[in-house]
């Protein structure tokens, strides 16, 4: 594994040292070690959570990929698997949990609901996709996705991590990464960033409707 | 309808006592006794104390829009079995108030809150009338027919934009916020100060009077959830503690409220079938079952014999899968993290394989149709089921039981914890294994038989102590009874058609109402549907067992230690998809 994944391919290494020494870049060793020990957050929302549990169980066995350490605390987790329908009542908590996760952090939207609302999109209490609020790295299709599909999603995330370059990555740049403002439950869910838009829409003058009363006069 | 004739003698008895205030619902297809709102409590008291209707199964409402009328609908049963007493109260649409039945039937508490939340019907004398699935401050009462959601297109499906041409217009792009939200006029976000939890904390009645105790202590509120590893999903318990002892507890639900009923009333009858899968997602087959038999009651069709056998077979396999999983997760809650659950999940996977083979999906099966099932079961699948039922499951269940029931720690943590007496269990409308663990032999498969259960030989499992350990033991006993049922089904399953008539996309459902119920793994799963003869249900209500089982959670937890609350919740066995719908 070391030879293929870790060693920089251009380096000409004597044959006798190949299994013992690896010459590589910082990016590569960093990504390699991180992508193989992703700790998902133990965080279930709906039906998809059951398939997530099945993925962690013996038959599909998440630990083959170094991901078996499900952490209930966001402080210790690297990847948030949003497994299920995101409702308006729950989304403030999800955003808060995301803000509490330490960086580097990734998000997988598992299933149709988390990706785009799914069968419940039209519902009045449903957020059509968790990406309205937090950045998503990998979307997994299915309702619910089979454990194989979730594993594929996690492997896709690993590949994405392996392509990262330290100077370009958001959380290694100077200054703090800003926390996402937590949405607020009012008469309906609102994002504090949209306050002005909402204010201007709700205070718009009502469109003047001309009704024709019998007799031809307008009222 | 047979239910209508069954209610006649009851009506005569009530007529004697309350000649002024009761009248039969005479609309064709409808039944039940319409009670004046003023006399509701007396009528209910008479029903409970003198006529034996001690079990309030379901409280819901319906909107007769465009008529100026709301209905509140009560389904009462006798805990010894039999047909329901169906009560209705008619109310006006502006400021409707009805007396609360919570003092008589504590099991009405959460259901009445739900009706208040979704219909805006106020219940006088309710101890804690707050919004339950939505939050305090939400604008409007969503299940009223004249309330429109932000992504509203048309009253009923199929929408013209999708069918038959499929223009594919995206509704949210027409919304000024480009999202699934709407705000009332004059709403100003910058001045919004609403605190959604304030009313809940107030209802907890925290006392800061520590002087009566030897050691002066303050009461402390701890929120377990909504993100907590023990809550089996997004569920929250607000617990008032005195030291480590629970003084009061309020379940806070709605974090997975996905608007089943509103969406269900826009859908066509058949479109609701896959939605029922997502109610209790650990037991999709029995949700299908409940919905199918309810609509079949209205349509007046019965499935062919082979379909009935397949249905029962799938429902019992679901029960085994669900009960094993719950048993595994109960151990998780006790702190035996994941290893026992792995044993349970192993068996569940084998059953899911069967579902995948017959229905095409592991979890969301969408397998039942009105008048039958979607696909036939092949001989290979039957062979697999036979292997499971005769060879593997009995052995594995005994093994699981041996590891758990003889474990000293499990016994100490579970015995005598979360006790619910038989009387309380009935009063709180508890159902399923929770009710039977308290010693009440009430099982819908026997109390109000449906499908072919009358011809099958099985026992209703009960235990006497009503504690966490007994709930576990009832579940294991039920798995054994399910295996017994499956053996009989496998022996007798006939050849033949699997659908009554041709499968049709638009089911023709005559006008009327029906309440159908099945014994799901979590208890009595009821569906109340009203049809007005159109392709869509006018009212579609799910009587969710795990939601109503939560009513007694506070009662079970009071006086226990905070660590026990987690165990008790695990044994109550809630599925959030069904609690919040």
CB-based contact A187:B183 (threshold 8 Å): yes
Element (H, E) at B120: none
pLDDT at position B215 is 66
CB-based contact A195:B190 (threshold 8 Å): yes
B184 in A contact zone (CB under 8 Å): yes
Q: Among B90, B98, B136, which residue's Cα sits nearest to residue B117?
A: B136
Is the pLDDT reported for residue A201 higher than 90? no
Is the pLDDT reported for residue A2 higher than 50? no
Interface touch A189/B258, C-beta < 8 Å: no
pLDDT at position A212 is 59
pLDDT at position B352 is 92
A144 in B contact zone (CB under 8 Å): yes
CA B463 and chain centroid, separation: 23
CB-based contact B109:B129 (threshold 8 Å): no
Q: Quick one: pLDDT band at residue B311, thresholds 50, 70, 90?
A: very high
CB-based contact A134:A180 (threshold 8 Å): yes
d(CA B268, CA B505): 9
CB-based contact A71:A39 (threshold 8 Å): yes
d(CA B267, CA B246): 44
B229 in A contact zone (CB under 8 Å): yes
pLDDT at position B30 is 85
A73 in B contact zone (CB under 8 Å): no
Q: Which residue of A has its CA nearest to B578?
A: A46
pLDDT at position B218 is 78
B92 in A contact zone (CB under 8 Å): no
At B449, list the tokens: 């038989």
d(CA A127, CA A105): 22
Q: Which residue of B has its CA nearest to A47?
A: B281
Q: What is the pLDDT of residues B112-127, one digit of tens each?
A: 999 999 999 999 888 8
- pLDDT, mean over chain A: 84
**Pick among 1.10.645.10, 3.40.50.300, 2.40.70.10, 3.30.1540.20: CATH of B260-580:** 1.10.645.10
Residue B279 carries which DSSP code?
A: T
* Number of CB atoms found within 10 A of residue B204's CB: 17
Q: Among B18, B17, B21, B47, which residue's Cα sits nearest to residue B36?
A: B21
State the average pLDDT over residues B520-526.
91
State the average pLDDT over residues B160-165.
77
CB-based contact B569:B232 (threshold 8 Å): yes
Q: What is the pLDDT of residues A149-181, one digit of tens each?
A: 999 999 999 999 888 888 888 888 887 778 888
Interface touch B258/A125, C-beta < 8 Å: yes
d(CA B537, CA B379): 37
Q: CA distances (Å), B39 to each of B73, B88, B102, B112, B505, in order?
A: 15, 12, 15, 18, 44
The DSSP bridge partners found for residue B59 are B74
Mark which residues 17-46 of A lie under 8 Å from B by CB. 42-46
Residue B69: exposure state from Cβ atoms within 10 A (0-12, 13-18, ≥19): middle
Alpha-carbon gap: A68 to the closest alpha carbon of chain B (Å):
11
d(CA A159, CA A151): 12
Mark which residues 49-68 of A lie under 8 Å from B by CB. 49-51, 53-54, 56-59
- B2-124 maps to CATH 3.30.460.80: yes
Residue B77 carries which DSSP code?
A: E
Region of B206 please: left (phi>0), alpha (psi -120 to 50) or beta: beta
d(CA A171, CA B338): 34
- Token look-up 């959460």 returns B110
Q: Quick one: pLDDT band at residue A4, thresholds 50, 70, 90?
A: low
Complex prediction ipTM: 0.88
Give Cβ neighbours of residue B206 (< 8 Å, ≥ 6 apart). Answer: B219, B221, B240, B248
Q: Among A121, A111, A187, which residue's Cα sits nearest to residue B180?
A: A121
State the average pLDDT over residues B180-192.
84
d(CA B339, CA B134): 36
pLDDT cut 70: percent of chain B above it: 97
d(CA B3, CA B258): 32
Choosing among A187, A191, A195, A200, which should be mutated to test the B contact, i.e. which has the most B CBs within 10 A?
Answer: A187
Pick from B139, B187, B254: CB nearest A198: B187
CB-based contact B230:B574 (threshold 8 Å): no
Q: How many residues does the structure list for chain A? A: 219
State the average pLDDT over residues A62-87.
87
d(CA B228, CA B236): 8
d(CA A113, CA B563): 33
Kindly give the pairing relationship between strand B33-35 and strand B85-91: parallel
Q: How many CA atoms lie within 13 A of A6 on its CB side?
A: 15
A124 in B contact zone (CB under 8 Å): yes
Give Cβ neighbours of residue B186 (< 8 Å, ≥ 6 apart). Answer: A202, A203
Q: Among B264, B210, B159, which residue's Cα sits nearest to residue B539?
A: B264
d(CA A186, CA A203): 16
Q: Quick one: pLDDT band at residue B5, thresholds 50, 70, 90?
A: low
Region of B17 please: left (phi>0), alpha (psi -120 to 50) or beta: alpha
- Token look-up 């609901």 returns A113
- Token look-up 């201007």 returns A200
Q: Among B552, B524, B517, B526, which residue's Cα sits nearest to residue B438?
A: B552
pLDDT cut 90: percent of chain B above it: 30
CB-based contact A106:A161 (threshold 8 Å): yes
Give Cβ neighbours of residue B425 (< 8 Å, ≥ 6 apart). Answer: B434, B435, B438, B440, B466, B552
Q: What is the pLDDT of residues A92-106, one digit of tens each?
A: 999 999 999 988 889
Give Cβ neighbours of residue B401 (< 8 Å, ≥ 6 apart). Answer: B476
Q: Among A150, A156, A152, A154, which residue's Cα sits nearest to residue A48?
A: A150
Interface touch B263/A123, C-beta < 8 Å: yes
Mark which residues 244-273 of B lie under 8 Å from A by CB. 254-259, 262-263, 266
Element (H, E) at B86: strand B85-91
Domain with CATH 1.10.645.10 in chain B: 260-580
Domain with CATH 3.30.460.80 in chain B: 2-124
pLDDT at position B1 is 45
d(CA B290, CA B527): 7
Find the Cα–Cα–Cα–Cα dihedral B464, B466, B468, B473, rounded to 10°.
30
Is the pLDDT reported for residue B312 higher than 50? yes
State the average pLDDT over residues A40-53.
87
The DSSP bridge partners found for residue A138 are A108
């Amino acid at each position: 594994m070391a030879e293929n994944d870790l060693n920089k391919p251009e380096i000409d290494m004597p044959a006798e040292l190949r299994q013992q020494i690896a010459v590589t870049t910082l990016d590569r060793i960093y990504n390699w070690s991180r992508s193989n020990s992703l700790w998902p957050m133990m965080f279930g929302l709906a039906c998809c959570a059951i398939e997530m549990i099945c993925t962690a169980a013996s038959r599909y066995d998440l630990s083959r990929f170094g991901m078996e350490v499900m952490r209930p605390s966001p402080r210790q987790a690297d990847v948030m698997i949003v497994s299920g329908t995101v409702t308006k009542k729950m989304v403030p908590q999800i955003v808060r949990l995301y803000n509490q996760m330490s960086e580097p952090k990734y998000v997988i939207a598992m299933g149709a609901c988390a990706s785009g609302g799914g069968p419940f999109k039209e519902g009045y209490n449903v957020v059509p996709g968790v990406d309205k609020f937090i950045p998503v790295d990998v979307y997994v299709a299915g309702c619910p996705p089979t454990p194989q599909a979730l594993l594929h999603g996690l492997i896709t995330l690993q590949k994405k991590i392996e392509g990262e370059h330290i100077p370009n990555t958001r959380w290694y740049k100077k200054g703090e990464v800003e926390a996402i403002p937590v949405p607020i439950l009012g008469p309906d869910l609102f994002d504090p960033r949209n306050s002005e838009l909402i204010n201007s829409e709700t205070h718009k003058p009502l469109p003047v409707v001309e009704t024709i009363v019998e007799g031809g006069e307008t009222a | 309808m047979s239910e209508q004739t069954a209610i006649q003698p009851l009506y005569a008895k009530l007529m004697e006592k309350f000649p002024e205030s009761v009248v039969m619902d005479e609309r064709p297809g409808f039944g039940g006794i319409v009670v004046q709102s003023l006399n509701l409590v007396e009528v209910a008291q008479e029903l409970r104390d003198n006529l034996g209707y001690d079990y309030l199964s379901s409280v819901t409402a319906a909107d007769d829009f465009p008529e100026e009328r709301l209905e509140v609908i009560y389904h009462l049963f006798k805990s010894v079995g039999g047909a329901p007493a169906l009560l209705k109260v008619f109310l006006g649409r502006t400021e409707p108030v009805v007396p609360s039945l919570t003092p008589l039937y504590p099991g009405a508490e959460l259901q009445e809150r739900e009706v208040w939340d979704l219909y805006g019907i106020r219940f006088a004398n309710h101890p804690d009338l707050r919004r339950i699935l939505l939050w305090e401050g939400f604008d409007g009462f969503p299940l009223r027919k004249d309330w429109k959601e932000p992504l509203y297109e048309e009253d009923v499906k199929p929408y013209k934009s999708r069918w038959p041409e499929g223009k594919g217009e995206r509704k949210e792009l027409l919304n000024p916020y480009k999202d699934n939200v709407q705000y009332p006029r004059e709403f100003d976000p910058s001045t919004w100060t609403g605190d959604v939890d304030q009313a809940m904390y107030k209802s907890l009645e925290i006392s800061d009077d520590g002087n009566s105790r030897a050691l002066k202590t303050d009461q402390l509120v701890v929120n377990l959830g909504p993100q907590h590893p023990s809550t089996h999903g997004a569920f929250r318990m607000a617990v008032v503690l005195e030291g480590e002892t629970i003084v009061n507890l309020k379940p806070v639900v709605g974090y997975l409220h996905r608007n089943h009923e509103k969406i269900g009333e826009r859908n066509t009858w058949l479109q609701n079938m896959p939605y029922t899968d997502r109610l209790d997602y650990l037991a999709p087959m029995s949700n299908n079952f409940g919905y199918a038999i309810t609509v079949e009651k209205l349509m007046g069709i019965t499935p062919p014999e082979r379909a009935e056998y397949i249905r029962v077979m799938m429902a019992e396999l679901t029960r085994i899968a669900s009960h094993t999983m719950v048993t595994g997760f109960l151990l998780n809650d006790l702190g035996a993290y994941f290893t026992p659950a792995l044993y349970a999940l192993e068996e569940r996977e084998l059953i899911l394989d069967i579902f995948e083979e017959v229905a095409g999906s592991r979890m969301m099966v969408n397998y039942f149709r009105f008048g039958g099932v979607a696909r036939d079961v092949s001989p290979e699948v039957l062979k697999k089921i036979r292997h499971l039922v005769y060879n593997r499951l009995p052995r594995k269940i005994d093994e699981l039981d041996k590891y758990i029931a003889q474990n000293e720690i499990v016994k100490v943590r579970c015995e005598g914890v979360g006790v619910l007496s038989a009387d309380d269990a009935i009063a709180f409308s508890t159902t399923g294994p929770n009710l039977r663990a308290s010693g009440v032999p009430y099982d819908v498969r026997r109390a109000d038989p449906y499908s072919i259960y009358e011809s099958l030989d099985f026992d209703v499992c009960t235990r006497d102590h009503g504690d966490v350990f007994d709930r576990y033991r009832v579940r294991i006993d039920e798995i054994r009874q399910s295996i017994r049922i499956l053996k009989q089904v496998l022996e007798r399953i006939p050849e033949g058609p699997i659908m009554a008539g041709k499968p049709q996309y638009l089911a023709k459902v005559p006008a009327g109402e029906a309440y159908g119920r099945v014994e799901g793994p979590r208890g009595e799963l009821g569906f109340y549907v009203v049809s007005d003869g159109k392709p869509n249900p006018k009212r579609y209500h799910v009587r969710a067992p795990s939601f109503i089982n939560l009513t007694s959670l506070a009662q079970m937890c009071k006086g226990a230690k905070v660590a026990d609350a987690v165990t008790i919740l695990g044994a109550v066995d809630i599925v959030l998809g069904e609690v919040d719908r």
